[in-house]
Each structure stands twice: as structure tokens, then as C-alpha cells.
Structure 1
Amino acid sequence: MNELNQKALMKYCLRITGDKWDAEDLAQDTILKLMEINRTDASHAYQKTVAKHKWIDQLRKRKRECFLAADNPAGGQTENMKAADEFEHLLKKLSNILTPKQLTIFLLKDVFSFQLHEIAETLDKPESSVKSLLFRSRQRLKGLSPDVLHRDAAEGDHEEHSRLLVQAIRFHNPDHLLEYAKKTWLPGASQPYCGSVMRCAA
């Protein structure tokens, strides 16, 4: 990428972040992503798309981190580990209650804050189907008695699937969730998180 393109990218990053340091980090992350996918010669419009999705992912990550911090403002390492273990336990219970397809869409929407059209694009499914599955998963959880989520989760036969779910949440990385989908109900996907060119570039 030549110097002129780098300056244009930096200007765009500064405009969407509103902060010099965030803009520099975003520009660097964008360039690294372009190098990773061999698109350093891409048009400025494409570079802006990559930067925009990178920034959206960063904002989502900060939102989840702020939520965890607010939930336990004085918590130390021990408390964080306890919370992580409890969340892992909850994920296992959810995987016993919802189908893999329902669970994937539920987590993408309610944990990773994806929009319905983004989920449809990522999974290469009709938005109407995504909306229907999300509704059914929420209704199924809403209809459970309160004690169900407090019972011990049944140990499943697929520890790798549980591991992918836990990694997705712990590392704020939906790639692991898409890998889970690929292994459980989306076998046609050649690699995770690649429902479209735009999403792969993010």
C-alpha cells in the first residue's frame, strides 16, 4: 500500500473513531487484515469497508468487556475465573436446550450483537429463516421453568463443540462460533465467518 493510500485510510479511520490513537490502531489492524487476505492493492472503498467492520467488531468487544466489568467492578482474578466457569456451565446447558442452529443464531444476535441481515449474510441463509429461528429459540428459553437453568448440565459427547462455544465467548471471537456451526449443522461452509466477501474482509 502506497503512502497516499495509507494517508487516505488514516483519515477515514480518524473520522469514524474520533480519536487519534484509536484511528492509528484501526488503520494498522486494517492494513494487517488486507495483507492477510492479499488485498493490499484493493480500492479505497474496499479498504474503508474492511476498516468499518474492524471498528464495529472492536466496539462490540468493548461493549461486552464493559458489561463484564460493570457486573463485577471490584472482582479480582479469582472472581473472573469463577464467572468464566459459571458461563461455561451455562453454555453447556444452553446447548442441551437449543438445537445447534438455534444456539448459533441466538449467540450471534444476543451476545455478539449481530444484526439479522448480518447473521443471514454470514450463514448464507434467508433473513426470514434467521428471524424465525431466533424467535423460536427465545420462546423456548422463555418457556422454561426457572429451575431448569440451575440444574447441572448434562455432559455431552462432543467436548470439542463445547470448547468452541466457550472460546467464542471468552476470546470475543465469533470465528469459533462459526466453526461450531460448521461442525454441527453448517457442513457446506468451507471456513468459518465467511458468509460473504464483506464479512470475510472484516
Structure 2
Amino acid sequence: MITPKRAEEEKLPDDSGIIQLQAALKRYCLSLTRSSWDAEDLVQDTWVKALDPLRSGHGNPEAFLLRIAKNTWLDAARRKTALSQKLPLLLGPAAVTQGSGDFAAEMALQAMMKHLSPLQRTVFLLRDVLEYSAAEAAALLGTTEGAVKAALHRARRALPALREELAPDGPPLPEEPGFRALLKRMAAACERADIAELIALARLEDEPAEAVGWMQDSRPSQSTGRSGGGTVKLMAA
């Protein structure tokens, strides 16, 4: 008797078919990314998304895989653009006029680190910048949709303070090595569209030692509450 699990497995191509699919997927991902490293990552992401549907049976598994790879790559490109361009724009024109590229991103991230709690800034990045749904953000953060919605509401209420921080006569980037290094690492994650790295850094409860004093002195008392503090803390690798 064939068990349901065994029946699912039998709907996948045989070993030879899997090898052919893998070769075709690698070629296609390399043509999209023009980078062997990015192509490998895209291949892995594609298989993760495609494996369960393929087990349920598909008339053209190669076309299915290539379509998932293309959509995944386009989605990553869209989010990369959002991180590098949309974040400063959401926080106000001053974030853009003070500089471009990494500098503008660092200015925007500095304001977020100062005025928003870890959960609030992470939710703001996921919902308003990267356009994840509340359910998707909750799943990524290991919390509830209610906590995500509450954190986003508080983050949006703090936007005027963030925009004031980014006014032309606002404070320069901090000189503290630890905090500046954190901002640079976050800006680099934005540039690479490395969502996992960005979430980990945005959720840090304990800033680098050199930056602790600056953060405690600068963070408004009304924003020190840790909404959803029971969630699992992601740490940077």
C-alpha cells in the first residue's frame, strides 16, 4: 500500500529528472543575476518555494521553477530599490537632499534608531518600506498581527520627529565608532537587499557599547516602550 507521503514523493521527477531541472534552473538563474553567488542563492530560494507544489504534481515542472525564479528575482530587485530609495523619501525630502546612496540611508536609519523601538523600526521597514503584509511581517518576526499593527501605528506617529531630525540643520552622523559601524552595516544590508541581515540589525536590543550612552540620552522617553518585547530577538551573524 502506498502511503500519502510516498505518493507525494512519487509525483516528483526521478533523480535524472531532478538533475536536469537543477541544471536548467542554474543556467536560468545565472542569466538573471549575472553572478554565480547570487545565482546559487536564487536557486536555493526557488527550490524552497517550489518543492511542496511540485510534490502535489505539476505538468511542466521546469517552466514552474523558472517562473518562480523570475518572480523571486524581480521581487528582490523591487525591494532593493525600496530600501535604497523609498526609505529616505518616506522620512522626508531632507533625508535625500543631505546626500545620496549610503549616506542618505545612514541618516534615515540613524533617525529610526533614535526615535523608534526595535520592534517599531523593524515593522516600519517591513510594512511601509518593503510592503510586506501584516501577516507576513508577523510570521517573519515571530509575533502576532495585532502586535505588528500596534507597532506600525506607533512608528507612523513618530514620523514627524524623525523628519525633524532629518532637517537640513539637523545633527550630523554620530562619531561614536560602534554606532557608526552599526549604521554602515545596516546601510550595506539595504544596498544588498539583505532582508534577514537588516531585520537582525534593526531588532538589536543591545547597541554596541560605544553607542549605548548616545542612544539612552537621545531616545525620547515616550518611545522607550518595547512593544512586543516577548518576541524572539534576532541577532546579527
Asked if TM exceeds 0.5, the reply is yes
- Tell me the TM-score range normalised by the shorter chain: 0.5 to 0.7
- Partners of 1:191 and 1:149 lie apart in 2 by 27
* 1:165 shift after superposition: 2.1
Query: For residues 1-202 of structure 1, what are the structure 2 equivalents within 5 Å?
Result: 2-5=15-18, 22=32, 29=41, 31-32=43-44, 44-45=54-55, 52=68, 57-64=72-79, 82-141=100-159, 143-144=160-161, 147-150=164-167, 151-153=170-172, 155=174, 158-159=178-179, 160-181=181-202, 183-184=204-205, 188-189=232-233
Structure 2 match to 1:198: none
* 1:124 shift after superposition: 0.6
Q: Which residue identity lines up with residue 162 of structure 1 in the other structure? A: L
When the two chains are superposed, the root-mean-square deviation of aligned CA atoms in Å is 4.7
Instruction: Calculate the TM-score normalised by the size of structure 2.
Output: 0.52
SS class of match (2:161): coil
- Partners of 1:137 and 1:171 lie apart in 2 by 24
* 1:138 shift after superposition: 1.0
* 1:106 shift after superposition: 0.6
- Partners of 2:44 and 2:198 lie apart in 1 by 23
**Compared CA separation, residues 101 and 164, structure 1 to 2 (3 A):** farther
* 1:105 shift after superposition: 0.9
- Partners of 1:146 and 1:182 lie apart in 2 by 21
Percent identity between the two aligned chains: 17
- Partners of 2:23 and 2:112 lie apart in 1 by 42
- Partners of 2:232 and 2:171 lie apart in 1 by 33
Residues 85-133 of structure 1 deviation map (CA, whole Å, 9 limit, x = unaligned): 1221221122111112111111122222222111100111001110111
Mapped contact 2:204–2:233 kept (Cα < 8 A): no
Query: Larger Cα Rg: Structure 1 or Structure 2?
Result: 2
The answer to which structure, 1 or 2, has the higher relative contact order (CA under 8 A, 6+ apart) is 1
**Compared CA separation, residues 181 and 63, structure 1 to 2 (3 A):** closer
Residues 41-82 of structure 1 deviation map (CA, whole Å, 9 limit, x = unaligned): x65349979x84x6555223322556669xxxxxxxxxxx84
- Could you list the runs of 5+ residues in structure 2 that have no partner in the other structure? 1-13, 86-98, 206-228
- Could you list the runs of 5+ residues in structure 1 that have no partner in the other structure? 70-80, 193-202
Mapped contact 1:93–1:153 kept (Cα < 8 A): no
- Partners of 1:187 and 1:127 lie apart in 2 by 12
**Compared CA separation, residues 88 and 122, structure 1 to 2 (3 A):** same
Instruction: Calculate the TM-score normalised by the size of structure 1.
Output: 0.59
Q: How many residues align?
A: 170
**Compared CA separation, residues 87 and 28, structure 1 to 2 (3 A):** closer
Mapped contact 1:96–1:154 kept (Cα < 8 A): no
